[in-house]
Amino acid sequence: MKKKDSQKTNICCIGAGYVGGPTMSVIAEKCPYITINVVDLNQERIAAWNKKDLSKLPVFEPGLSKIIEKVRGKNLFFSTDIDNSIAIADIVFICVNTPTKVKGLGAGRASDLKWVESCARRVASKSTGHTIVVEKSTMPVRTAETIKIILQSSQPMNPPYKEKTFSVLSNPEFLAEGTAIKDLEKPDRVLIGGDDEKAIEKLAEIYRNWVDNKKILKTNLWSSELTKLSANAFLAQRISSINSISAFCEVTGGNIIEVSKAIGTDKRIGKQFLRAGPGFGGSCFKKDILNLVYLSEYYGLNEVANYWQSVINLNNWQNQRISRIVIDKLFGTISGKSLAILGFSFKANTNDTRESPSINIAKDLLEEGAKLRIHDPKVSIDQIEKDLNLIEFNKLTDKEQSKQEFSNQGSWIFAETIEKAFMDVDAVLVLTEWEEYTNIQWKKLSKLLRTPAWVFDVRSIVEPNTVIQSGLQLWRIGEGSVS
Ligand code: NAD
Ligand code: UGA
């Protein structure tokens, strides 16, 4: 085991996921003097981070592979050697998943902290000398207290009985997937919560290599943890607000794009996060709000809990009403009809499908007996299969499909191209705002569809006139049927 070198900073990041991988890549690029080991229990994931072919990295993020090419093997390393990486680290970042609990106390709402706790125990056992432990994962308020207790209870039982010391900081991550590199390189703010000035300064010094000191905010631990949950809740609340108005527009003749634009010009409101859609997805908004609801109830703040719960309820409703509209427009039945699903990731520019609205919408349509042709530029067929997780619905590859003529009800195929997705379908649903879906050659491709056919633009990204002039019927979120 190497000793800590007082001249150089050594970081260990536990968790090589959507946050750990990109965040550490950017730190490694901006701070060549720091050595970073990103470690994970998942051997397959680490192997993928080490792949020579950079198009096979486990996380797709614009700009990420270029940085990895520059720093991997120089001052950024991916491995499963968790213990040694902890032992030589001055700073350990905890970047593991904190999903909603599926069973036990608080199931369905509280965050499951078993991975965080296991990291804290491992750091307690394997660290040497003084270690700064940084919560990067999103944690319930007061988790740092638990981490501190675990760390403090771990002094060596055997000679040479050298005392270990720890400082715990909260440094939540605000990156959004699809723009992670940009967000990390030019953050609106970096938040550091803690009570140890020296440790806070050590972490701030790292960020100052590329972030203006004015953007580095320092708070106490609990404010920092609560800020992260609140920021996500506020963003999600804006989406539920605009989605509620989208439904209003559809029944009154308003147009959500016009309304959003007009609302957003008020500087006090701002124009971001006012795009209506199928409801927010992603691994965090729902989980973090549920956690806020759980904590509010725990502290007896029932009105607060109800307020945030309504943001989730509206989101679920928005998600469910899409499939109802599709069925309604297709003469009340989609049994045996073929539909194209464009987009399976929860937003554009990521291969992440966690809590993607496409999953529930696809499941609802399959349940009604539709045959789906699913296309996504970055999500793999295996991922879609895992997400749909429906043994009763058949998955056919393109080749099998051409043989079998895709005859089963409630089945789906992975379409490798948009053209293949359009073959003989009664409707096209645009569910993710991928750039390539904004440039579809509707005039040419409309000939592949059955007639009469519908386009359901759930992200308001297609050019309406081109669709209509191609002889297709168009429904847009927050506008309804467009003629
Ligand atoms: P992820 O699931 O992509 O990655 C987490 C990784 O941690 C996994 O690879 C898992 O194998 C590993 N892991 C779990 N327990 C471990 C252990 N004991 N030892 C070693 N490895 C372990 O998750 P993510 O999307 O990177 O999110 C991580 C945290 O960051 C969450 O708390 C999330 O809320 C928060 N966050 C996520 C985003 C985002 O955009 N995904 C943004 C900001 C904050
Ligand atoms: C979100 C936050 O934006 C990040 O700041 C935060 O760090 C992160 O969660 C997290 O904690 O995990 P992310 O979920 O990656 O980031 O992506 P967003 O851009 O926030 O989109 C979330 C969902 O809302 C997507 O499904 C997106 O399509 C939807 N959305 C977003 C809308 O429907 N309308 C909008 O105007 C914006």
Amino acid 388: pLDDT: 94
Q: Which of 283-287, 341-345, 409-413 has the lowest mean pLDDT?
A: 409-413
Token output for 353: 């499908």
The answer to whether residue 399 is catalytic is: no
Rounded to an integer, the average pLDDT of 315-326 is 97
Q: Ligand 1, residues 46, 93, 97: which to mutate, most atoms within 8 A of Cβ?
A: 97
Mean pLDDT of the chain: 94
Instruction: Output the residue whose Cα is nearest ligand 2's atom 3.
Output: 176
Confidence check: pLDDT of 210 > 80 = yes
Half-sphere exposure of 233 (CA within 13 A, CB side): 19
**pLDDT class for 410, splitting at 50, 70, 90?**
confident
3-state helix, strand, coil in the chain (%, to 5): 45, 15, 40
Buried b (16+ CB within 10 A) or exposed e, 449-479: beeebbbbbbbbbbeeeebeebebbbbbbbb
Give the residue among 43, 13, 8 at the shortest CA–CA distance from 25: 13
Overall average pLDDT of the 150-162 stretch: 74
- 153, 142, 181, 250: which is closest to 22 by C-alpha? 181
Please tell me the total number of residues recorded for the chain in this structure: 483
Please tell me the distance from the alpha carbon of residue 231 to that of residue 431, in angstroms, as a whole number.
25
Determine phi and psi for 427, rounding to 5 degrees.
Answer: -155, 150
Label residue 401 by pLDDT band (50, 70, 90). Answer: low
Instruction: Judge contact between 411 and 393, C-beta under 8 A.
Output: yes
Least confident of 5-9, 210-214, 220-224, 288-292: 5-9
Residue 119's pLDDT is 97
> With bands split at pLDDT 50, 70 and 90, how would you rate the model's confidence at 154?
confident
- Kindly tell me if the per-residue pLDDT of 3 is higher than 70: no
What confidence score (pLDDT) does residue 404 get? 46
Q: Give the confidence band of 153 by pLDDT, cuts at 50, 70, 90.
A: confident
Which of 101, 164, 228, 337 is labelled catalytic? 228
Nearest to 195 by CA among 166, 169, 224, 172: 169
Q: Is the pLDDT of residue 182 over 90?
A: yes
**66-106, pLDDT tens digit by residue?**
999 999 999 999 999 999 999 999 999 999 999 999 999 99
Bridge partners of 480, per DSSP, are 476
Tell me if residue 228 is catalytic. yes
Of 159, 94, 90, nearest in space to 127 by CA: 90
- For residue 177, the ligand closest to its alpha carbon is 2
Summarize the confidence of residues 370-379 as an average pLDDT: 97
Strands 454-457 and 130-135: unpaired
Q: What is the pLDDT of residue 185?
A: 98
CA 437 and chain centroid, separation: 21
Average the pLDDT over 462-483 and give the result. Answer: 96
For residues 158 and 160, what is the distance between their CA atoms, to the nearest angstrom? 6
Residue nearest to atom 1 of ligand 2 (CA): 176
Residue 402 — pLDDT band, cuts 50, 70, 90? very low
201 is catalytic: no
pTM: 0.94
